[in-house]
Structure formats: C-alpha cells, structure tokens
Structure 1
Amino acid sequence: MLFNSLHFLVFFPLVVGLYFALPPRWRNPLLLIASYYFYMSWRAIYALLLLATTVLDYYSGYRMSQLPTKAARRPWLGLSLASNLGTLFVFKYFNFFRDSVLQLAEALHLPHTAGPALGLLLPVGVSFYTFQSVGYIIDVYQGRLEAERSFGRFALFVAFFPQLVAGPIERGGHMLPQFRREHTFDYQRIVSGLRLMAWGLFKKVVVADRLALLVNPVFNSPRQHPEGPLLVLATLAFTFQIYGDFSGYTDMARGAARVLGFEFNLNFRQPYLSASVPEFWRRWHISLSSWFRDYVYIPLGGSRVGPARAYANLLAVFLISGLWHGANWTFLAWGGLHGLCLVLSTWARPAREQLAQLTGLAAHPRLRRAGGVLLTFGLVAYAWIFFRANSFGDAMFISQHLLSGWGNLGGRGTATLLLEFSQHYRPELAVAALGVGLMLWLEYFGRVRSLQTWVSTQTAAVRWAGYAGLTILILYLGVFNSTSFIYFQF
C-alpha cells in the first residue's frame, strides 16, 4: 500500500477513527492488525517473514534480559544477527554475490559451475525493519535498553505501518515508551500531522514524480542522449527528485504517526545546504547514518584508533551503506565515492584551515560556507549518477559525457536537441520548476526555521488559503499513477 494511493486514502482515516473510538487497551492491537494489513496488501506471504523476525528477536531479547553478563548473552545476539543478516543475504544479496563470483572466475579463467539463481522477490522494507530490530537487539545486549516484556508492543515496534517500509529507522528507546502511553485526541497535534502529510504528498507527486518524467528517459537510455547539457540537466533533476521523493515519504510517515500521537525522529535537515560531505551525512537520512555510526563505525573503533585505521573504518562503513541500498556495483560505487570524500575531507581539514588563513577566507565565513555548499552540492549530485544509473557501465558513460557538447551549445545540433527535449517535456519542466522552487523557498530559503511553526502562527484565513492552494497544486499538478517511492526497493 502506498501513501500516495486511493487505498491509503481510505485506510488511514478508518484506522484513525477506530483508534480514537476504541478504549486505550485495544488501540495497540488495532495498530498491529492495521500494520500487518498494510504490509500484506503488497504481498501477503512475506508477512510471515516479518512475523518470524519479530518472534525470534523478541525471544532473543527476552532471554538476554535474564542473563547477567555479555558473555552469557552473546549466543542469543549471534543467533539474532545470523538470522536477520542471513535473511537479508538470501533475499537481497545471494544472486549478486553468485553472479559476481561467476564473473570473477570467468575473468581469471578458473573452472566454475553456475548454481541456480534464487527467484525470490525482495520483500518491501526488509532492510528497514531488519535494521530497526537489529538495533534493538544490540541495545539490549549492551545493556542500554531493557528488553520489552510485551510481545504485542514489540511486534508493533517492528511493524508500525507509517515507517515500516522506508523508515525512519527508529530506536527501541525512543519508540517503545510511546507505545506504553495513552494518546488522547488532540486537535492541534492532528492538524499538525495532516499538514506534514500534505506537504510530503506535494513533494512526492508534484516535485519528485514530475521530475521522474524528465529523469527516466535520459537515465534509462543514456547512450541515446550523449550530450553533456542534457545529462547535467537529468542529473540535477534526479538530485531534487530523490530529495522530494524520500523526504516526502518521511514527512508523510512522521505526519501519519503524529496524527495517532507518536513522534518519529527527524530524518532530513536541509541536506543540500551542507558545506561538506560529513555535514551532508549529518543532515541526510539521519536515522540510517546514525545507525551505521552507532552499530558499525564505533564498534570498529571509530576515530579512537590511528588515522589510517579510522579512514579505513569510514570507507568500510560507506561501502556497507552502499551495499545496504542495493545489490549492485552502482550502489557500492556510490557508497565508495561518499566514503572517499569523507576520508579526504577529514585528512585535508588542517590544510583547508591553513589555506583559508592565507587567502583571507577565514575572515569571510559566509563566503567560505557558500563555496563549501556549492562544492558539496556538486559532489553529491555527481555521486547520485551512480545511485540512479541502471548499470555501472551506464554510470561511467554518463560521467564521461557530462562535459561533452558544451562548446557547441550555440550550435545547431545541441541547441536543437535541447529545444526538442524542452518542447516535448514542456509541461513537466514548467511544473517541476514550480514545485522545486516552492520546495526550496519554503524549506531552504524561507525566513523561518520551521515551516510548521510559521504556518501555526498565521491567521485562520491565511492558513486555510494555504491549505486550499496546496490542495489545488496537488490535485492539478500531481502525478497520480501510484508511483512507488524510490526507497521502497531497499
């Protein structure tokens, strides 16, 4: 079930109405049933996989809570990790590693036999709910969190429908106490949640899905569009498409949870205003980057070890992060690029400070930051090529042709191509420009820190005019063909 579908438009108000109509003791069971229905509406059989993960991790956490030492708890941690990561490997990575080993054997002229590929469909959201459950298990093992005694509450923590399929990846210490509290009907909170959902829907159907109409023809057939200006246009369009798509989903998830009385952690904080790649990852997909920091980077030694080891840890974490996003060399390359940028940024920090002092930029922090924002945006946009490309070969082709054709921009060939492209996609270009402009103005360049705070301080007439305007934009300019969210594939 998609947030931008008619199915959800019927499902969500029904769940909210029943939730507040029922006595408090029946509300969590209702949410659990609704969450499994939400998941089963995609493919019912994979709800058994979700249930198996829940049962195993609940029991592992419960048993660990009865054991006094980490050594005694370690077998249960190992069982949980082996089960969760093994499930991910079978469903998501087996065929990728199989094909990679075969290709390596052929390249080295080694004898090999090709075992059968697994014809398994990747369960929606498996990477998200698996990481959420693994985080809970590690917290219990480390003693940072008491094991949840109620199976129903733990099952709801794993399967809660607003963030089940694409996050944010929540922590047990943040969400489990919320499932223990009684949530009353609060008009202001519900209005705030609905506003957030509407804004997320706008970013999805007006911004992201319109931009997709420009991005897909170029990235799906890059060799038919080898001109640099067109490739740059498509790359920039995807840069804002993925932000509108993923942050739009997160806004809708946070808004839906808020209507019901729950609060998720912030997952995006103006990432394209970052002045460095490390800062970008403190602002983009915050729940995932903090998960890797706490459960992978720090256990590897983090920055407490020597510089060479710390750099290796950074690179390893981002290669794993790339692989988490998808079983393809393009995602490994994307993660590797970001890891390399972080390593270089950390290594070159003293030299950058010295250069800023020598050039006088240290006395102009705004100018220095503006340069950092432009450089970081360019690096991030370039890396998105590998994220979006259908193959590593396509990504390299696009990279190699980004600078081609610019010298002949005034010539007949390139100019004619751009004119034909813009005429063919004129509605999409106009709507996308309007949507991106409105999104940037409100979220990035507006004079208010919080869009929600700003809206709540306006008069009723201004608020309702804004609601009406946003509704008209969504209805008349949105793409309503139940386009899936990009991160559903992970």
Structure 2
Amino acid sequence: MVFSNLVFLFIFLPFVLFCYFIVKNEWRNFILLLASLFFYAWGEPKYVFLMLFSILINFIAGLLIGKYKRNISLKKLFLTLGIIGNLLILGFFKYANFLINNINSLLNTSIEMESIPLPIGISFFTFQAMSYVIDVYREDVKVQRSIISLSLYISLFPQLVAGPIVRYNSIAGQLKKRFVNLEKFTEGVKRFIIGLAKKVILANSFGDVADAAFNTPADSLSVSAAWIGIVAYGLQIYFDFSGYSDMAIGLGKMFGFDFLENFNYPYIAKSVSEFWRRWHISLSSWFRDYVYIPLGGNRKGYYRTLINLLIVWTITGFWHGASWTFMAWGLYFGIFIVLERIGLTRLLNKLWKPIQHFYLLFIVFIGWVFFRADNFSYSFNYLKTMFLLNDTNLVDEYTLIYSHDYWLIFLIGIIFAMPVVRWLNAIIAVNNLEKRLMPIFSVTVPFVYMALMVISVLLLVNSTYNPFIYFRF
C-alpha cells in the first residue's frame, strides 16, 4: 500500500485514526502496530513474517546486550551477532542475485538461483533496527523491554517503506508517551497534503517525461531531449522522495510522533558536501554516525579521512541498489566530496555564488544519469548525447512536445524546489506585514490546501501511473 492510493486515503487512514482515538492511551501502540503490519502485508503478506523475524532478532539482541552490559566480551558478541543477523537478512534479499551473477561472470560458472523479490522498504527498516541495537550497545538508550514498543518502532507505517530512517533515540520517549491536540493534528494534515501534492502533481508529471527519455535508445535522443529527460528525473526523484517524507512526517504528527526532517531544499546547495547535508538527511547522518565515525572519521589522519569518505560513499551507493551503477554513483559523489575536502571548496568559495550553484547542479544531474540508467553502456551513451558526442540532432519532436505540454510543470517544479515560502515569510516578518496579511491568509490558505487535495485525488482517479522511486530500495 502507498500513501498516494485511494484505498489508503479514504479507507485505511480514516479507519486507523478512528480506532486510534477511541481507545485508551495504553492500547494505542497496539492499534498502530496492527495497522502497520496490515499496511505492510497489503502488498506482500509473506514478508510480514520476515519483518517479525527481524523484530525478534533485534529485540533479543537488545535484551542480551543490556543484560551483559558489564561484560565487554559478551556485550560485543551480542552486538556483532545482532548486526550480522540484520545484514544477512538485507544481504540475502537484496544482494544474493547480484553476487551470484557476478560470480558466474567472473569465474565462468553456472550457479543457478531463482530471482529473489526485494521486500519493500527492507533497507529502511533494517537500518532502523540496527541503529537500535548499536545505540543500546553504546548505552545511548535504555533497552526496550516491551516487544510491542520495539515492534512499533521498526514497523510504524508512516515511515516504514521509504523512510525517513528514524533513530530509536529520537523516538524512544514518544513510544511511551505522546500527545495530539487539534493544532498538531492540523499541522500533520497540512504537511501530508503538501507531500501528496508534491508526489501526485509534480513527481508523477516529471516521471512521465523522464520515462519517455530513458525508455528511448540514447543515440536516438536529441541533445535537448536528453537534457530535458535528466532534469525531469532530477525533479521527479526530489519531489517523489521529499513528498513521501512530508507525508510520513505529517502522518506521524496525526498520531503524536515528531520525526526529524529528511530534506532541506538540496538543489539550492553550492557544493556537493552541502547537497548531501540537505538530501536524505536521515541516511547521510546514519552513515556518518554508524559507519564513518566507527571507521575513524577524521581522527586518524588526513589520508585516512579521505579513504573513509570514499568507503562510506561507495557503500551508500550500494545501499541504494545491487548494481555496479549504484556503486559507481556513490563513488562518484565520494570523489567530489574528497576533492572539496582537499581544496576545491576553498576555490569555489572565491567564485560568484551563481557559479558555485551551477557547479553543484551540473555534478548532481550528471550523477543522476548513473542512478536512473540500468547499465554503464546506456549511462555513457546518454552522457555522450547530452554533450554532443553522438551524431544526434539538437532538437527533435520529443523536445517540442514536452516543452509545449510540460513547461508550466517545469516552472512550478523549479520554483518549489527552492524555499520560496520561507523567503516570503522572512520578507513578511522583516516588513512587519503579519497583521495586515493575516486576514487574507486565514481565508486563502485553507482553500489552497483544499485545492491541492482535490487536484491530487482527481489525478489519482484518472491515472494509473503512481510509482514511488525509493520503494525499490
């Protein structure tokens, strides 16, 4: 089940909210847990048992680490077993086919293995579970002795299948006690509508354009069509994923939870390092705290720091998918982060800010080619078309059609990829216009949210195209 689904919007969510608010506080976690397991089972019932197995492994590992916290050897042993258990689950379902295929290619063997379907959201809930076990080992959090509470943490449906990756230490207190008032619930509804509009109105529209480009042989595209396709994909993945995060945060508020932000307008960044501090914040911070720092971070010398950065970013790419193109995509960004660390940032800071911004966009959109394409051959061929190295036209029929039909969507997408609302609020505050504009806002803002909701629902009714990109991770 997905959030941008009519069954979710008009049956599942209203029913869960009704059940949640009519029961006593002590039953609310149980109601949410049942709802979350049903939500996950909607698409693939058999994988609910995989999730329950994952919950059991981490629950037992946490108890044993807590029980033997004074015995360092046993404490490390149970941490290691907990991490290995999580990685084996993730590795088998996500990387087994990739490994077998590469062994067959490298050793000229013919090992046969049936294709293993990827359980939705396995990378997200596995990382959440590992963060709990690691934090218990570090004694950053207390052991969770209620299997209901830990199960809810790992399976909570608002952030289950595509994040944000919620740390246990940020939600432990909320699992015990949280509150919802009308103001917070309303804020959650507004945030959900914004995310839904991002997904349905913008991301799906950009997806149409990007798919048309990437489903065409690269040497059959014109130069302008190739650029339109990759810009469309860059905007699609941003509005798709940030929209999902907005919906997750909004849903969390409806049930009393406060999740941390996952995006902070990454396309306004002026360096690759800044971009990744703004994009998928929960994943970047997870790798920082649980991989980069344990590797030594920047504490073991200059060259070791650079190596650690390359390792972390290669693993980050591999986290996104079992493919050499994903690893190359991660290494690609790791190289630029290293270059910025060794001096490129100092050079960029001397340049005009729009040039810094253009540098970032250029690097990111080149990277998206490897992220979107299925193989290196298509990736490089697509790049050749973008940079006039294929014998293709500058403009073709595709360019004219999509420029004519989608120019308004591109304009809206580019505008709202920037913090325009934040800028307007700052202008209003600086000029003391709040009292003067408040009567206007109080009337118009509710209509804006209602219009976004109605448009989104109408588009869902009339369209079958509604993928979430990050579900496959």
Q: Tell me if TM exceeds 0.5.
A: yes
Change in Cα spacing, 1:46 to 1:221, as seen in structure 2 (3 Å) is same
Q: 2:447 aligns with which of 446, 461, 465?
A: 465
Q: In the superposition, relative to structure 1, how do residues 204 and 443 fare at CA in structure 2: closer, same or farther (>3 Å)?
A: farther
Aligned to 1:5: 5
Per the alignment, residue 108 of structure 1 pairs with none
1:97 to 74, 96, 99: 99
Aligned partners of 2:121 and 2:162 also within 8 Å: yes
Mean Cα deviation higher: 63-72 or 237-246: 63-72
Identify the residue that residue 402 of structure 1 maps to in structure 2.
386
The corresponding residue for 1:474 is: 456
1:487 maps to which residue?
470
**Paired AA for residue 58 in structure 2:** D
1:392 aligns with 2:376: yes
Letter of the 1:56 counterpart: I
Over the aligned positions, Cα root-mean-square deviation in angstroms equals 2.5
The within-5 A match list for 1:288-437 is 288-349=283-344, 352=347, 356=350, 368-404=352-388, 414-415=394-395, 417=396, 419-423=397-401, 426-427=404-405, 429-430=406-407, 432-433=409-410, 435-437=412-414
Structure 1 contact 139–145 (Cα < 8 Å) conserved: yes
Question: What's the CA shift string for 1:142-174, capped at 9, x where partnerless?
Answer: 111111111100000000000000111111111
Cα distance in 1 between the residues matched to 2:402 and 2:344 = 46
- Asked whether the 8 Å contact 2:296–2:308 carries over to 1, the reply is yes
In 1, the alpha carbon distance for the partners of 2:457 and 2:3 equals 15
TM-score, normalising length from structure 1? 0.89
Q: Structure 1 residues 173-182 or 222-231, which shifts more?
A: 222-231
The residue type equivalent to 1:422 in the other structure is L
Paired position in structure 2 for 1:162:
158
* Cα gap change, 1:225 to 1:202, in 2 (>3 Å): farther
Residue 188 of structure 2 corresponds to residue 153 of structure 1 = no
Tell me, yes or no, if the aligned pair for 2:189 and 2:254 is still in contact at 8 Å. yes
Supply the distance in 1 between the matched residues of 2:37 and 2:45 (Cα, whole angstroms): 9
How far is the alpha carbon of 1:464 from its aligned partner? 2.1
**Secondary structure, counterpart of 1:319 in structure 2:** helix
Which amino acid is the alignment partner of residue 95 of structure 2? Y
1:355-389 C-alpha deviation (Å, 9 max, x unpaired): 83xxxx5xxxxxx3332122111101110110001
Counterpart CA distance in 1 for 2:23 and 2:244 is 28
Quote the offset at 1:69 in angstroms: 3.6
Which range moves more in the overlay, 121-130 or 462-471? 462-471
Counterpart contact for 1:218–1:225, Cα < 8 Å: no
Given candidates 230, 247, 260, the residue that maps to 1:252 is 247
Aligned twin of 1:227 = 222
1:399–1:224 CA distance, 2 compared to 1 (3 A): closer
The 1-side partners of 2:93 and 2:320 are apart by 13
Q: In the TM superposition, what whole-angstrom CA distance separates every residue of 1:106-160 from its partner, at most 9, and x where no partner exists? A: xxxxxx4221123221000000000000011011111111111111000000000
**What residue identity is the alignment partner of 2:248?**
A
The alpha carbon displacement at 1:438 in A equals 5.2
* Counterpart check, 1:45 vs 2:23: no
Aligned sequence identity (%): 34
User: What's 2:431 paired with?
Assistant: none
Task: State the secondary structure of the residue aligned to 2:47.
Answer: helix
Shift of the alpha carbon at 1:405?
A: 7.9
In structure 2, the partner of 1:72 is 74
Contact preservation (8 Å) 1:431, 1:477: no
| Secondary structure of the structure 2 residue equivalent to 1:44 | coil
Q: Tell me the distance in 1 between the aligned counterparts of 2:463 and 2:426.
A: 31
Decide whether the 8 Å contact of 1:5 with 1:482 is kept in 2: no
Structure 2 distance, partners of 1:422, 1:346, is 42
1:282 is paired with a residue of what secondary structure?
helix
Partner of 2:63: 62
Residue ranges of structure 2 left out of the alignment (5+ in a row): 429-433
- Given that residues 240 and 469 in structure 2 are in contact (C-alpha distance below 8 angstroms), is that contact kept between their aligned partners in structure 1? yes
1:53 maps to amino acid = S
8 Å CA contact 2:219–2:390 kept in 1: the answer is no
Q: Which moves more between the two structures, 317-326 or 344-353?
A: 344-353
Given that residues 332 and 367 in structure 2 are in contact (C-alpha distance below 8 angstroms), is that contact kept between their aligned partners in structure 1? yes
Q: Which amino acid aligns with 1:448?
A: N
Q: Distance in 2 between matches of 1:219 and 1:486?
A: 15
Shift of 1:295: 0.3
The match for 1:31 is: 32
- For residues 117 and 185 of structure 2, the distance between their equivalents in structure 1, rounded to whole angstroms, comes to 37
Cα displacement (A) at 1:457: 8.9
The 3-state SS of whatever aligns with 1:137 is: helix
Label 1:100 to 1:405 Cα distance change in 2 as closer, same or farther (>3 A): closer
Aligned to 2:425: 448
Unaligned runs of 5+ in 1: 106-111, 362-367
Structure 1: distance between partners of 2:439 and 2:178: 28
Task: Provide closer, same or farther for how the CA distance between residues 192 and 406 of structure 1 changes in structure 2, counting only shifts above 3 A.
Answer: farther
Residue correspondences, number: 463
Structure 2 counterpart of 1:439: 416
Indicate which of 205, 208, 214 corresponds to 2:209: 214
In structure 2, give the amino acid aligned to 1:33: L
Counterparts of 1:15 and 1:350 in 2: how far apart (Å)? 49
CA distance in 2, matches of 1:207, 1:369: 28
Cα pair distance change 1:234/1:11, threshold 3 Å: same
The CA deviation at 1:448 is 2.8
| Alignment CA distance shift 1:210-1:72 (3 Å) | same
